[in-house]
Structure 1
Amino acid sequence: MLSETLREAATRFGDRPCLVEPEGATLTFGALHLASERLARQLAQAGIREGDVVALQLPSNFDYVISYCALARLGAITAGLNPHLAAGEQARILDMLQPRVVVGIHSTSGGSWPAYDIAEFDIQHEVDKPQVIDPAELEPLAELPPDPERPVAIVLTSGTTGLPKGALFRNSQLEAISRIDLGPNWAEVWGIGGAQIASTQFAHIGFMTKLPWYIRCGMATYLLPKWRTETVMELIDAHRITTLGVIAPQLAILLRHEALPRYDLSSVDLIIAGGAASPPALITAASQRFGARYSVRYSSTESGGVGLSNDAGSPEDQINSVLFPREGVEAGVFLEDGTEAGAGVIGELRLRSNAMFAGYWNDPESTQTAVRTGWLHTGDLAQRTPSGGIQLTGRHRDRYVRGGYNVYPTEVEAVLLDHPSVADVAVVPLSHEVLGSIGAAVVVPTAGAQVPTLAELREFCIDRLATWKHPEALVLAESLPYTSGLKLDRAQLASIVAQEDSQ
C-alpha cells in the first residue's frame, strides 16, 4: 500500500514538498519516490527479500522515510528504533526482533545480523527538485502483487511496563487506519494538501501507520528534532501549519509563552491532543487563541493509533473530554466478569476495529493476553457517562488505595492542571503506615507565577474532588519525565518522589 501510494503521489503532485528540514532543505514527493526506488534496488542487491525484518536505527529525517518506503517496495518489514532509547535498550529490542539486517548511522552488528551504515548506500536525495523515474536509469525490480495480509511495519510499544513489544501491522490495517482518519471515501482522496509539524519520532505509531495517508493527501511535514515552544510558533507562522499535534502540557506552555503575541497562529484549524489529560480551561483557551477545533484523542500502539475522540460529543462533552468511538471503531467498558459496566461504573476500556495490530512480533503469549474474543484489552480504566460517552479514569496499575478508597491519578491530575500556577503535574502514591498510600503531586510551576503550596492545591480541590483524592505531599520539579514515546514515565516519577520523601 505504501509504495503504490507514493508512486501515484509522485505522478499527481511530484513537485510538492513532502518533508522539510529545520534549515529549509525540502524533499518533494517525486524526489522521495525516486530515492526510495534507488535504495530498494540497493537493498535487494544486499539480499533483502519480501518478509525480511529490517531494523532502522536512524533519526527522524529524510533517510528514515526513504528507507521505510524502499523496504515497503520490496515487501520487507520495517522496525524503527527510537534513537532516544539507550544503547542497552536498543540491543534488547534487536534481540527480540531478530532482524535480517540493521540499517543506521555508524551501525555495527551487536548480534547475529549484519549491520549497514546508511552512508554505504547511494541514496541521492536530490532535494528541492521534482523527480520522475526514467525506467532506463534503474535496474528492473519486480512489482509485488497486491496482498492485504503482507506485513509492512513493526511498531514498538512505549515500554512503560518493561521492554517494548513489537506490534505488527499489515497492509489491511494501514488501509483501515486511512479509512478511519480520512473517511469512507478515503480511496478517492488525493492532494488535499495541508501542513503539519512532526511532533513525534518517525518510529512512533502516529507516523508509521499514517504515512500512507499523509502522502495521499500531499501533506507537507516539517521536521522538528526536539519540541521547542518558540520554534513551533515560528514554524506555524512561517509555513502556515494547519494541523498541530501536541500533548496537553506542551500546548499549555505555548499559550503562556511570553513570545506568543509576536506570532500569527491563525492558520491552525485543528489541534489534536493526546497522551495526557486536556483540562477544560486549556481546551477553551486554545480554541479561542487559535480559532481552531480542539480534538482530544485516545489511542494506543496496539489500536493502530486510532480509537476515541471528543469530536462527536455535545459542546459540554467536548470541553470535558468525553470521548466517543471514531467511525469504524467499537468501544466498551467491561467489568472483570466480562459484562458491560453501567453508567458511572469504572471498568476496563476495550476496543475493536480492523485497524488493530496483527499481534506482537515473536510473542504469541502476550498477543493472546492483549486480544481476547476480538477485543483489545487496553488496561485503561474508564466509565460511561449519561450521554453514552466514555471518560478515562486511569490505568489499573496506576491506581492506589488510600484508606480503603480507590484513587486514580489521572482524575486528580486533570483537576490540578486547571490551577493557574500549575504548568504540568503528575500524582504518584507514597506509602503510609496507616492509610496504605497517599498521593504526592509532582508539580512543574507556571513560569512567572507564584509557586503553589500544598495547602493552596488542597484548597483548590475542595469543590472538585473527594477529600481522599486530595494530594497530601508536594514535590516541585523543573519538568516531568516522559518516555521516548511521549508518555509520562510513572516509574521514574515514583523514584523521584521516594527520594524526596527520604530526605
Structure 2
Amino acid sequence: MTNLAALLDAAAARYPDRTAVIFGGTELSYDQLDRASNQVANLLAAHDVKPGDKVALSFPNLPHFTIIYFGILKAGATVVPLNVLLKPREIAYHLADSDAVVYFAFEGTADLPIGDAATAAFEDTDGCRSLFVVPADPTHLPWADQSPEFDTLDVDDDATAVLLYTSGTTGQPKGAELRHRNMRDNALAGGELFGADASRPDNYLCVLPLFHSFGQTVIQNGAVAFGGTVVMLPRFEAHTALQLMLTHDITFFAGVPTMYWGLLGAVEEGVDVSEIAARLRVAVAGGSALPGEVHKNFADRFGVTLLEGYGLSETSPVASFSVYGQEPRVGSIGVPIPGVEMKLVNNDWSEISDEINEDGFSPIGEIAIRGHNVMKGYYNRPEATAEAIRDDWFRTGDLARKDSDGWYYIVDRSKDMIIRGGYNVYPREIEELLITHPAVSLVAVVGIPHESHGEEIKAVVVKNTNHDGVTEEQLVEWCKERLAAYKYPRVVEFARSLPMTSTGKILKREL
C-alpha cells in the first residue's frame, strides 16, 4: 500500500504492544495509536471527507497530533499542519489558501489559547465546513464514539499526503505539496542514515514541533517506520529535556542549533550527563547552521558526535546528512542521502564548475536538489512552482560550496547575504568567528542600510553572564583584527535574547 499511514498499519500489526507515544503519565501502544487514528478516520468519513480533501490541525507536541495526523491519512485526505502560534487572521489565511474542509485544534491554555484563535479563524473562513476543538480531557474527545476499525484507503503514490506551509520569510506562506512517496521514503531513509532498526527500536525525544517537517519526518514518522517510541515535550526547555532523556533512556535526539546551545547551558548548571551520554546513540542537527563550537562542546560533554543534516519543507525535509559512523566534517551538511542528487547552480540555472580551488573547495553556488524527496509543487501556485522547479531540480535559495569528496558546506542563505561596497559578505562566517569569543553566548549577523556602502554589517550579541565587562566597541576591534576590512561588523549591539521562530531558528528579519 502506498498510503503514508501504512507505516502505522504495519507497526501496529507487528508490534501491537510496543509503546508508540509517551506524554507525561500517558503511554499509547501501537495498537492503541492505530485504533484511535481509525476513530478519527471514521469521524472524517462521517463528515463527508473525501480522498484528496484538506484537513487542517493546530496542535503542540501531544499524542493528539499523531492520532489525528494518521487518521487524516487513513481517510485518504491531506494533512495541513499549522503553527500553533498563528493568530486568527493568519489561521484564516491558511484555511482559505489550502481549501481545508475540516479543522482540528487543541483547546490550548491560558497562555496559548489555540482553541479561541481557531474558532475566530473558522468563523471567518467560508470554505471550512467543520471545526473540532479538542480538549485535553481524554474522556471528551470528538472521535470517542467512533468505531476503532477502519481500512486505510489506498491512494496514488503521487497524491498529496501533507500540505506543509513554508515560513513565509519572503511574502505570504506557500503550501508545499508533499506526496505520500516523498514523506514515506524520507522517513524510511532513517535506516541508512542513522542505523534505525525495528529489532532494536530507538527512544526518540520529540522537542521539535510536529507541525514542522523536521520533527514530523525525522522523529514522528521515522519512529513509526521502525517501531520506535516517541517521548513528547510540547515546548523545549533544556532542564526538562535532560530529565526526560534520563527517565526514558533516550537514544535518539534531534534539534536545531539553539536547542543544543540550551542543553549545553543546562549541563553547566550541574546536571550529570554521564547516564544520558551512555544511552544516547544518535544526535542530529538541522534547521540552521550549527556553530563549530557547539559541535565540539557537545561531543566533549555527551560523547556523541553531532550529525548535521540539511533540508527544507519542500524536500520532505531531509536532503543531505553527515555519514553515520564516519568522522564528521565540522561545518558540513554532509552528502546527499540515498536516492537524492545535489548540485550547485548559478542564477540562470547553469551548473557551477566542480573545479576545486586552492582552498580545497568548489566555487560558491545555489544548492539545487533532485530526488524522491522533492515536492510536487506549491499548491495553486503554478508560477512559483515553475520558478522553483525545472527538469525535476528544485532550487533552494541556499548558497554552498563542496569539497573534493562531495561534502557540502552551507555558506549562507542567498537572501541573508550582505553586499557591502560591492563585496559579498556571508553572515555565517562572522557568526562562526564571534561565537568563539568567551563573552559571546549567541549571535546573529545582519545587514543594515548604509548611504555609501549600500549595506553595513551589524552583529546582535547575547552575552555570557560572567562576561559583563566586555563592551560593544571591544568586540568590534576583536573582529577587526581577525577579518578582512570589508567583512568585520562596524556595529555590535548587545541584547538579552534573539527573536526566534517556533522551530528555534533566529528571525533575522526582526533584527
Whether 2:358 is the aligned partner of 1:350: answer no
Query: CA offset at residue 459 of structure 1?
Result: 4.6
1:76·1:152 contact (CA, 8 Å) conserved in 2?
A: yes
Q: Which residue of 1 aligns with 2:340?
A: 329
1:262 counterpart SS class = coil
2:57·2:104 contact (CA, 8 Å) conserved in 1?
A: yes
Whether 2:459 is the aligned partner of 1:465: answer no
Instruction: List runs of 5+ in structure 2 lacking aligned partners.
Output: 108-114, 357-361
> Using the alignment, how far apart are the partners of 2:269 and 2:136 within structure 1?
43
Of the candidates 7, 15, 18, which is equivalent to residue 17 of structure 2? Answer: 15
More deviation in 285-294 or 319-328?
A: 319-328
Per-residue CA distance 1:58-83 (angstroms, 9 max, x = gap): 33312221111111111011101111
Whether 2:379 is the aligned partner of 1:365: answer no
Q: Which residue of 1 aligns with 2:4?
A: 2
Q: Which residue of 2 aligns with 1:133?
A: none
Per-residue CA distance 1:20-68 (angstroms, 9 max, x = gap): 11x3211221111111112211221111121111111233312221111
Q: Which residue of 2 aligns with 1:203?
A: 211
2:258·2:505 contact (CA, 8 Å) conserved in 1?
A: no
1:153·1:208 contact (CA, 8 Å) conserved in 2?
A: no
Query: CA offset at residue 322 of structure 1?
Result: 5.7
- Give the counterpart letter for 1:6 in structure 2: L
1:182 counterpart SS class = helix
Q: Map of 1:178-193 to 2, 5 A cutoff?
A: 178-183=187-192, 190-193=198-201
More deviation in 171-180 or 41-50?
A: 171-180
1:278·1:296 contact (CA, 8 Å) conserved in 2?
A: yes
Of the candidates 352, 363, 372, which is equivalent to residue 340 of structure 1? Answer: 352
Per-residue CA distance 1:177-203 (angstroms, 9 max, x = gap): 1343323999x9535311122122211
Q: Map of 1:50-129 to 2, 5 A cutoff?
A: 50-104=51-105, 105=107, 106=115, 107-108=118-119, 109=122, 110-112=124-126, 113-119=128-134
1:398 counterpart SS class = coil
Q: Map of 1:327-476 to 2, 5 A cutoff?
A: 327-337=338-348, 338-341=350-353, 342-343=355-356, 344-450=362-468, 452-461=470-479, 464-476=482-494
Whether 2:292 is the aligned partner of 1:291: answer no
1:313·1:322 contact (CA, 8 Å) conserved in 2?
A: no
Per-residue CA distance 1:276-298 (angstroms, 9 max, x = gap): 32222221221121111210111
> Using the alignment, how far apart are the partners of 1:362 and 1:477 within structure 2?
41
Query: CA offset at residue 405 of structure 1?
Result: 1.2
Instruction: List runs of 5+ in structure 1 lacking aligned partners.
Output: 127-136, 494-503
Per-residue CA distance 1:442-472 (angstroms, 9 max, x = gap): 0111233345433443454356532321111
Per-residue CA distance 1:386-417 (angstroms, 9 max, x = gap): 44322211122212222221111122112212
Per-residue CA distance 1:89-112 (angstroms, 9 max, x = gap): 111111211111222244432211
TM-score (norm 2): 0.87
- Give the counterpart letter for 2:15 in structure 1: F
1:155·1:208 contact (CA, 8 Å) conserved in 2?
A: no
Q: Map of 1:254-265 to 2, 5 A cutoff?
A: 254-257=263-266, 258-263=268-273, 264-265=275-276
- Give the counterpart letter for 2:73 in structure 1: A
Instruction: Name the CA shift for 1:140/1:118 in 2 (closer, same or farther; >3 Å).
Output: same
Whether 2:33 is the aligned partner of 1:32: answer yes
Whether 2:239 is the aligned partner of 1:240: answer no
Instruction: Name the CA shift for 1:101/1:450 in 2 (closer, same or farther; >3 Å).
Output: same
> Using the alignment, how far apart are the partners of 1:121 and 1:308 within structure 2?
38
Whether 2:367 is the aligned partner of 1:318: answer no
1:393 counterpart SS class = strand
Q: Which residue of 2 aligns with 1:134?
A: none
1:100 counterpart SS class = strand
1:368 counterpart SS class = helix
Query: CA offset at residue 351 of structure 1?
Result: 1.1
1:39·1:123 contact (CA, 8 Å) conserved in 2?
A: no
TM-score (norm 1): 0.88
1:226 counterpart SS class = coil
Instruction: Name the CA shift for 1:403/1:19 in 2 (closer, same or farther; >3 Å).
Output: same
- Give the counterpart letter for 1:153 in structure 2: V
1:36·1:69 contact (CA, 8 Å) conserved in 2?
A: yes
Instruction: Name the CA shift for 1:243/1:464 in 2 (closer, same or farther; >3 Å).
Output: farther
- Give the counterpart letter for 2:342 in structure 1: A
Query: CA offset at residue 255 of structure 1?
Result: 1.6
User: Cα RMSD between the aligned structures?
Assistant: 2.7
Query: CA offset at residue 260 of structure 1?
Result: 4.1
1:454·1:472 contact (CA, 8 Å) conserved in 2?
A: no
Query: CA offset at residue 216 of structure 1?
Result: 2.4
Instruction: Name the CA shift for 1:239/1:469 in 2 (closer, same or farther; >3 Å).
Output: same
> Using the alignment, how far apart are the partners of 1:7 and 1:428 within structure 2?
47
> Using the alignment, how far apart are the partners of 2:194 and 2:406 within structure 1?
27
1:410 counterpart SS class = helix
Query: CA offset at residue 492 of structure 1?
Result: 0.8
Per-residue CA distance 1:459-487 (angstroms, 9 max, x = gap): 54356532321111111112111123432
- Give the counterpart letter for 2:500 in structure 1: Y
Per-residue CA distance 1:161-182 (angstroms, 9 max, x = gap): 1322111112211232134332
More deviation in 381-390 or 155-164?
A: 381-390
2:184 counterpart SS class = helix
Q: Which residue of 2 aligns with 1:45?
A: 46
> Using the alignment, how far apart are the partners of 2:137 and 2:261 within structure 1?
43
Instruction: Name the CA shift for 1:95/1:452 in 2 (closer, same or farther; >3 Å).
Output: farther
- Give the counterpart letter for 1:449 in structure 2: H
Query: CA offset at residue 229 of structure 1?
Result: 1.1
2:369 counterpart SS class = strand
Instruction: Name the CA shift for 1:387/1:120 in 2 (closer, same or farther; >3 Å).
Output: closer
> Using the alignment, how far apart are the partners of 1:363 and 1:238 within structure 2?
46
Whether 2:183 is the aligned partner of 1:174: answer yes
Instruction: Name the CA shift for 1:451/1:410 in 2 (closer, same or farther; >3 Å).
Output: farther
- Give the counterpart letter for 1:294 in structure 2: L
Per-residue CA distance 1:254-312 (angstroms, 9 max, x = gap): 22333344343212122111123222222122112111121011111111111122327
Instruction: Name the CA shift for 1:460/1:245 in 2 (closer, same or farther; >3 Å).
Output: farther
Instruction: Name the CA shift for 1:453/1:68 in 2 (closer, same or farther; >3 Å).
Output: same
Query: CA offset at residue 378 of structure 1?
Result: 0.4
1:189·1:216 contact (CA, 8 Å) conserved in 2?
A: no
2:427·2:446 contact (CA, 8 Å) conserved in 1?
A: yes
